Amino acid sequence: LGGGVYGLVRLTSPSGPALPGGYDFAFHSYFNGIGANGFFLGRPDAIELEMTFGRYETVVVALQRLRRSISQQIQQAAPGRSGAVSAALVTGNKSGIPEDVTEALRVSGLAHILSISGLHMALVAATVMASLRLGFAFAPDWSARHPVRKYAAAGALAATGFYLFLAGAGVATQRSFVMLAIMLLALTFDRNAVTMRNLALAAIAVMVVAPDEVAGPGFQMSFAATAALIAVYGGWQDWRQRRERRRSDRPQFHAAFFLPIVISRYALGIGITSLIAGLATGLFASYHFGRVVPYGLLANLAAMPVVTILVMPLAVAAIVAMPFGLHVYLFKAMALAVELVIGIAERVAALSPAISTGQMPATALIVFSLSLILLCFPSTRLKLTALPFLAMGAAFWVFEQSPVAILSEDARQFAVIENTGQGARLHVNRDRPNAFTVEQWQAAYAAPMIIKPGKSSLMRCDDTLCRAETGTMLTGYVLTSSEDADMPALEKLCDQFDLLVFAKAPSPQSCPNGTPVVSAQMLARNGAAEIYENEGRPVIAHALPGPR
């Protein structure tokens, strides 16, 4: 770290959304300080660079060296996939995790444990607070005279601050730290930690520091889940207090039933938490990713006790023991617990793949979000006003008009969307389409099947032209530019088709007879385009508003 590499690279600007309403990689890359991405054309060479580091750069390099050292220590103590996942949970470095493990965690609904966010921060804080409170208990005279809970909260805040930088200080980690810091500070000032007011303060703080995060799935899913959990458990506590006030005596359980009751309550709490968080975040998962995990509740119910009781406490203990050289067996034990979580993910993932819901329209998401607000924030029967909005959101989703075709922003990918009783099918223009783009289209349009040009009844292509039946329209996808000698005559193309797409520049930008045209230049300026049909005429909807 602190050196350099030398080699020939191919760099391109980050891509925009693959479709209108899709994830905008260029937008988030800009705010993350990423101007381009790409790859080396051959093996790069390590070189020495003469650089002068200021205080900030010196701290950053030292921190990166510490992260790399800890990651190496973990993988030496526990080689293999469990060690790679353990290193990711401690340092945020996910590069060593095998692809099949990542996919199993994603399909089972456990991928959130790889993203160091609110769960990890809360578990670290809880472990440190519990350990400090236990340590203070060994000095009862001193503890009786001092606010040990505040001291424990301050220690937890310091520990999570260290964990923030150890994990790479990613945007999701920063957001989670801000939320947790506000709650821990509330404890030090004798206020309730988990309240809607603190959640609002955390949201304001995140928006001040990173306003672009509001448009990302992480911010929306995190705050939606937290708001829903605060509302449900706040209502449950109010109901429990009212019930206890009405009862004169509390039922006493035999000592033999104490442990089973505690375990059952813990399991029920995890199940309810997973269900509430899954319902709240499922709305945004359907909008951003176009799919939901059918057995996510089962996976979280089985795996989260392992993560809560074993994985994260062992990680905290190992980091504390590292300066004394006592970390090896703790990391080994952590890796064994992680392997159990991976096994749960693989078993659940084998039950069913993720269910594709198709991309939720933005109008439906807005209405659903309003209904979620009405469900969470009022404390009276005003919550019932959310029901009409839930029905309205479902109606917007069901009756949303579907596009008949889609074009990528580089004009190289073109697909006709055929809706059938068994789901949509994508008729693509290339035998080897861009897998990344097509995967996003499949998720957005719930289209599990891809039809190649030679086998498609809706897309017929030759060397210069593809003829596509989009609804009741005929679309021409022209593969040559206006500078090529074999470019078909423009007048003939305009008379033959209801819509023309020119995939290469330079190209005509309009037809003499008024036939709509989409060119590569238009797509480069305005992003990917969906094609709709309105009374036999094409309607073009681009992903971006165009350059300013």
Give 138-186 as a 3 state SS string.
CCHHHHHHCCHHHHHHHHHHHHHHHHHHHCCCCHHHHHHHHHHHHHHHH
Distance CA 125, CA 138 (A): 20
Both tokens of 149, joined, read 């809970």
CB distance 19 to 444 below 8 Å = yes
Q: What residue has token string 């060397």?
A: 463
CB distance 219 to 213 below 8 Å = yes
Q: What is the mean pLDDT of residues 435-464?
A: 90
pTM over cut 0.85: no
Q: CB 157: neighbour CB atoms within 10 A? A: 21
Distance CA 290, CA 356 (A): 6
Higher pLDDT, 270 or 437: 437
Tell me 255's DSSP state: G
Secondary structure of residue 408 in the 3-state scheme: coil
Q: How confident is the model at residue 481 (pLDDT cuts 50, 70, 90)?
A: confident
Tell me 430's DSSP state: -
Distance CA 67, CA 234 (A): 39
Q: CB 142: neighbour CB atoms within 10 A? A: 10
Q: How confident is the model at residue 485 (pLDDT cuts 50, 70, 90)?
A: confident
Q: What is the mean pLDDT of residues 271-281?
A: 83
Distance CA 271, CA 274 (A): 5
CB distance 156 to 130 below 8 Å = no
**Of 161-170, 178-187, 288-297, which range is least confident?**
288-297
- Look at strands 465-470 and 459-461 and give their pairing: antiparallel
Backbone angles phi, psi at 260, to 5 degrees: -60, -35
**Of 113-122, 450-459, 495-504, which range is least confident?**
113-122
Cα 511 to the chain's mean position, in Å?
A: 43
Could you read off the pLDDT of 200-220 as tens digits, one per residue? 888 898 888 888 888 888 888
Q: How far is CA 249 from CA 93, 113, 252, 259, in A?
A: 53, 42, 9, 22
Q: How confident is the model at residue 389 (pLDDT cuts 50, 70, 90)?
A: very high
Which residues on adjacent β-strands are paired with residue 542? 529
CB distance 92 to 116 below 8 Å = yes
Distance CA 426, CA 445 (A): 9
Both tokens of 515, joined, read 């036939």
Do you find a cis peptide bond into 433, omega within 30 degrees of 0?
no
Both tokens of 328, joined, read 């090896």
- Look at strands 9-12 and 37-40 and give their pairing: antiparallel
CB distance 406 to 447 below 8 Å = no
Which residues on adjacent β-strands are paired with residue 416? 405, 427
CB distance 270 to 301 below 8 Å = yes
pLDDT of 251 higher than 70 = no
Q: What does R_g of the chain's alpha carbons equal in angstroms? A: 28
Both tokens of 410, joined, read 């580089």
